[in-house]
Amino acid sequence: LRRGPPIDPVSDPTESGLIGLQGSPVTTSAGSLSAKRTSANPNFAAVLVEYLQRIGVREDDTVAVGFSGSFPALNIAVLSALHALHLNGIAITSTGASNWGANIPGFLWPDMERLLAHEGLFNTVSVAASLGGVDDSAVGLSDAGRRLLEEAAERNELLRLPEGTLEEAVDRRMALYEEAAAGRPIVAYINVE
Predicted local confidence at residue 141, as pLDDT? 83
Distances 41 to 12, 16, 45, 165, 181 between C-alpha atoms, Å = 12, 9, 9, 34, 30
pLDDT in tens, 48-99: 999 999 999 999 999 999 999 999 999 999 999 999 999 999 999 999 999 9
pLDDT in tens, 86-115: 999 999 999 999 999 999 999 999 999 999
Q: What CA–CA distance (Å, rounded) separates 8 from 57? A: 39
pLDDT in tens, 6-54: 888 899 999 998 999 999 999 988 999 999 999 999 999 999 999 999 9
Q: Give residue 163's pLDDT band: very low, low, confident or very high (50, 70, 90).
A: confident
Q: Is 185 left (phi over 0), alpha (psi -120 to 50) or beta?
A: beta
Q: What CA–CA distance (Å, rounded) separates 158 from 176? A: 12
Predicted local confidence at residue 3, as pLDDT? 73
